[in-house]
Structure 1
Amino acid sequence: MTRHDRDNSLDTVAGRLKRTREAFKMNQADWCRLVGIETQAWNNYESGRRRISIDQAIRVCQATGVTIDWIYRGLMNSSLPPQVQIELQKKR
């Protein structure tokens, strides 16, 4: 893990959100339906215009199995589906 991966800056968190969605091979509209977040809000999170709130991050975690540690700190753990872990590691 690089220092950048552990960074919790707005841009870095936004990048992890985008990498996560892409790891699931979903476009923004389908992803937003899955996680229950408005498309415009998600676009703001993913582009770094706004930081995802803890409540919205929990929705992502509940719908996908990713963790708060991954979203905010870049820490992966073994609870992620194996294929998602592989895809996230490819995108580093």
Structure 2
Amino acid sequence: MRPQVHKLPSYLQDTTDYLIKSKASEPLLPDTLLVSLDVKSLYTNIPHNEGIQSCREAWEIRTVDNPPTHFLVQLLELVLKLNNFEFHGGKLPPN
């Protein structure tokens, strides 16, 4: 996904990238609140169907469609829907 994410108009690489893009854009409205966050291990926390649809849309606009989008979607469904994992070694955390 990384190569596709870098091509999205909303993608910001870092603070310098943001500053360059913000200088080239319209001024922000006075009450605008800018928020930044880092995301780690997002795939366990996203709605799977919406995540798959977003990936499908990003893959559909690729200039090189090899492997085909339907194949990538099938792989993504396997990872998201048929993946078993353990949290804290399968034990519940203490109360």
The TM-score, its normalising length taken from structure 1, stands at: 0.27
Larger RCO (CA within 8 A; separation ≥ 6) = 1
Decide which structure has greater helix share.
Answer: 1
Q: Looking at CA atoms only, which structure, 1 or 2, has the larger radius of gyration?
A: 2
